Structure 1
C-alpha cells in the first residue's frame, strides 16, 4: 500500500517512545505498516509499546501548553514574554497558522496514534504471559484511558475533530472527516469505562493510568459534555474520593518538590531531571532573569486571592520580584513588584499535577449543588474541606446561586496554573461574560471582545492543506 504522509495520524514514527525496541523496527518500516511479527511479537514487546505511549507524552503539550491553554486564555495569566503564538492565545486572535495550535494538534494525535497501535494489535499477540494476572486487559485499559484523555483535550480545545480509533489502512481512514462532539464524547466515555473496569488500582508510580484516573476523568468528562450529567459526575467523584486518596495537610507541599507522588495525586507526570530520561523545562520559562518570562499572573487573579484573604495559596501560586534592572517593559505590572508563577519551581524536576483530589472534591461540590436547589448545604462541607487546609473560614454561600459562584472562585484559587480555569468557564457558559469584564490593574477594561466564534482553536493550516475532509 502506498504510504501517505498524513500529519494527523501517520506523521513520524514512535521512534523516541520506543527507543528500546529493535533498531530494524525503527529504521526500516513505516509505523503504520508494522505487522504483529515485528512489533507485536510477545509480552515484552507489549510492555515496551505501552511504555512508549507514556514516554511519548513528554512533549510540548503535556509539559507546557496544557497550562498555557487553560490559564493564559483565561483570566489567570497574561501571555508575558514576546512569543507571538502565546500572545494570540491571550488576545483571542488565534488563526490556523498559530504555532501552538499546530504543535498541540500534532502532539495529541501522535499520542492517540501510539494508543491505537496498542489497542489495534495487542489482541494478536499469542504470548500466554500477557494473560497472567489479566495483564493484556490492563495494558488495553491503560491505552484506552490515555486515548480518552487525549480526545478529551481535543474536543474541549477544538470542538469537532476527526475520531480515529484504529491504525489506518485505507485512503478514507488516512483522511477522516470530523466527528460530532457527541460522538467524540461517546468514545471517550467508552474508553474510560473500559479503563475503570480493567485497569489496576495502583501502578508502580502515579504516572500510570489506573482505575482512579479513569474515574476522575469520567467525572470531569460528564461535567464537560454539552449537557452535563451531574448524577454521573457525583457518582464518579464518589468513586475517586473513596479510592484511597487523601488531601495532604500543607498546600505548599504540593509544589515544593519534596512530596512527589503524594496521597493527593491521582495522576502525576514523572520527571527525573535533565540528567535523566525526562526533564521538565517549563519552570525555566516561567521564572528567571535576563528576559521577560511567559504566563504572567493577572491583576485579576492576584486581586481574587487578596479579596478572599487567601495568603497561603497566593504565596504558593505567585512570587513577586523586583525586576527594575531588566531591559524589558510590561503593560500590566510595575517592575518593582513583578509576579511569576510559583507552582513549578525545581527547574528540571517539577511535577505537573495533571489530576489531584482537590479538583474532584470541588467537582463533587458542584455536582450536588446542581442536582438540587438545596444541594448547596451538601456542597458547603466539601468546599470548606478545601478552604480549611489554607486557614480560610467557612464559605458564606447559602443558596444554590451563590454556591455556584463560590465553587467557581474556589476552583480558581485552588487550581490556578494547573490548566483548568478556561475549561471551567467554558463548560459552565461563563467564559464570555467573565473574560469581557476583565480589567487591568488600573480598572481599565482589557477589551477582549470575546465571542462564541473564538472559543475554540481553528484546525491547523497544515492539516487543512493535507486533509480537505477536516474543512
Structure 2
C-alpha cells in the first residue's frame, strides 16, 4: 500500500544524518509532533497546536541541514566529516537517493502539516478566550508565517513542488502534483501578508513569529523571485529596519551565548540544552576533538576574510586548532592549523539566527543599488555601517556594478555559516560562475563542474515511489 505524502514523518528518520559517525549525536527523545488526534475544542487546544508547530522545527533541517544546504553547497564550507550524503552535496553529485535530501523534504512537509492543522481547525474553535487580545488571529498569523518559511525553503531547494495548504481527505489529495514556482511564491506572499497584518508586533522571545519576521521574509522573497521586485524589497526592508531592531555593538556578542534574543535578532531558534525541551547538537558535529568534524570552512572563505583585513569577523566565524595527532586525513587543510566553524560554541545551547538585522540592512543596500544607477551611493552608507562595526573602512565600490560585488562580498563575510550564501548565489545567478572558479589552498581548480541542471535538488526517490505525480 502506498504511503500518503502528507503522513506524519517519523522523527527517527533523521538518524540518516550521521549514520557513519563514530558517535550517535541523535540519540535523544523524539520531538513531540502534534497529530490529528488533538481535540480541536478550545483555546488551550489552539495553543497546543501552535506550540507543536514551533516544537516541530527542532529537527535536523532547522538545527543543521539549513547550514549544510546554505554553506557547504556554496564556497563557504567543505563537507568535512565522513558522510557520503554530505559529500554529494559538497561536490554537486546529489542524486534522488541522497539521505539528506529525503529527510529535508520530509521535515519541511511535516512542519507544513503542523501549520495546516492550525490553519484548518483554529478558525472553527468556539472559545471566547481566543478573541482576547486578538489571539485567534495571532495564532493563525504565526502558523501562516511558519508555513511560508517552509515553502520558501522548498521552492529554493527544489523549485516546483506540491503545494499542500489543507489536510488531505481522500483520493487525489493524497498524491498531489507539483505546483508551479509562481504559484508557490504567490502562496508564500499571501501567507506572509496575512502574517504581517495580524501577528504580534514584537516579542521578547525571538522564536515567536512577529510582524518583523513576516516583513523580513517578504523582503527576501521579493528579492529571490525570478523577477525581483526591488521596490517591494526596499519597502519591506524599511519596515524591518524601522521596526525597533538595532545592531549589537560588538559582532562577537552574536555568538558568545550571553546575548540571546538581542536587539539585532529578528528570528532565532530557542535552544535550552538537553535538560530542557530543545537541545542543539550542532556544535558537537562542527568543532571538537577525537574525530573529523563536519562543515569545514574553505580556503577561499578564509582568504576572503584575510584579503579584506576582516580579523574580527574571521575570529568570530573560524577557529583554528592543531589536530596533527588525530588519526584522520583531510584533502584541503594542513592539520597543524585546521579550521572549525566558531559561530556555535556552547554545546547544546547555541542559538542560530534564521533572520537578523544585518541581513536585512544589506538587502536594503542591494535594493537601493538595483533601483537606480546612482543608488550605489546610498547603498554604500548602509554597507559602511555594517563594516564600521567590525573596524573596517569604507567600501571601495564606486558604481552600480562594483557595488553589486561589494554587497555580495559583504553578505558573505557578515553572514558566513548562517545558511544564506548558496541562496544569495542562486538568486543573483552567480552560482555557476562562482563555484566553477573555486580553487584549493594551492590554487588548483576544484573542478566542481556545476551546471544549471545541478542547482536544484532532485525529488527524493522515496517520494516518487509513493507519489508518481511528483515525477
Q: Please indicate the TM-score interval, normalised by the length of the shorter structure.
A: over 0.9
Q: Distance in 1 between matches of 2:349 and 2:415?
A: 20
Name the structure 1 match of 2:126. Answer: 126
SS in 2 for 1:163: coil
Q: How has the CA–CA distance of structure 1 residues 68 and 257 changed in structure 2, closer, same or farther, with 3 Å as cutoff?
A: same
1:236 pairs with 2:236: yes
8 Å Cα contact 1:147/1:191 also seen in 2: yes
SS in 2 for 1:336: helix
Aligned match of 1:337: 337
Q: Matches of 2:306 and 2:424 in 1, distance apart?
A: 21
Deviations 1:224-279 (A, max 9, x none): 00110000000000000000000000000000000000000000100000111100
Counterparts of 1:67-82 in structure 2, within 5 Å, are: 67-82=67-82
1:332 counterpart SS class: coil
- In the other structure, the counterpart of 1:253 is 253
1:144 corresponds in structure 2 to: 144
Give the superposition deviation at 1:124.
Answer: 1.1
Instruction: Write the distance in 1 (CA, Å) between the matches of 2:5 and 2:206.
Output: 31
Aligned equivalent of 2:319: 319
The SS at the match of 1:206 is coil
Shift of 1:425: 0.3
Q: CA deviation at 1:7?
A: 4.0
Displacement after TM superposition at 1:410 (Å): 0.1
Q: Structure 1 residue 17: deviation in Å?
A: 5.9
SS in 1 for 2:335: coil
Instruction: Return the offset for 1:123.
Output: 1.2
Q: 1:6 aligns with which of 1, 4, 7?
A: 4
Cα displacement string for residues 262-309 of structure 1 (whole angstroms, at most 9, x for unaligned residues)? 000000100000111100000000001111100000000000000000
CA distance in 2, matches of 1:16, 1:87: 27
Using structure 2 for the length normalisation, give the TM-score. Answer: 0.95
Task: Check whether the contact 2:222–2:232 (CA below 8 A) recurs between aligned residues.
Answer: yes
Provide structure 1 residue ranges, at least 5 long, that are not aligned to the other structure.
20-25
Post-superposition offset of 1:203: 2.7
Q: What secondary structure does 2:358 align onto?
A: helix
1:423-446 Cα offsets, whole Å, 9 max, x none, are 000000000000000000000000
Residue in 1 aligned with 2:394? 394
Residue 10 of structure 1 and its aligned partner are, at CA, apart by 4.3
2 CA distance for matches of 1:57 and 1:177?
A: 25
Structure-2 separation of matches of 1:342 and 1:39: 44
Q: Corresponding residue for 1:23?
A: none
Q: Shift of residue 170 of structure 1?
A: 1.9
**Structure 1 residues 248 and 11, CA, compared in 2 at 3 Å: closer, same or farther?**
closer
Instruction: Tell me, in whole angstroms, the C-alpha distance in 1 between the residues paired with 2:203 and 2:257.
Output: 21
Matches within 5 A, 1:207-222: 207-222=207-222
What TM-score results when the alignment is normalised by the length of structure 1? 0.95
Runs (4 or more) in structure 1 with deviation over 2 Å come to 7-13, 15-19
Mapped contact 2:2–2:466 kept (Cα < 8 A): no
1:302-356 per-residue CA deviation (whole Å, 9 max, x = no partner) reads 0000000000000000000011001011100000100000000001100001100
CA contact (8 A) 2:321 2:336 kept: yes
Report the equivalent of 1:198.
Answer: 198
Distance 2:344 2:180 in 1: 36
Give the superposition deviation at 1:111.
Answer: 0.1
Corresponding residue for 2:290? Answer: 290
Q: Cα gap change, 1:260/1:357 in structure 2, threshold over 3 Å: closer, same or farther?
A: same
1:47-66 matches, cutoff 5 A: 47-66=47-66
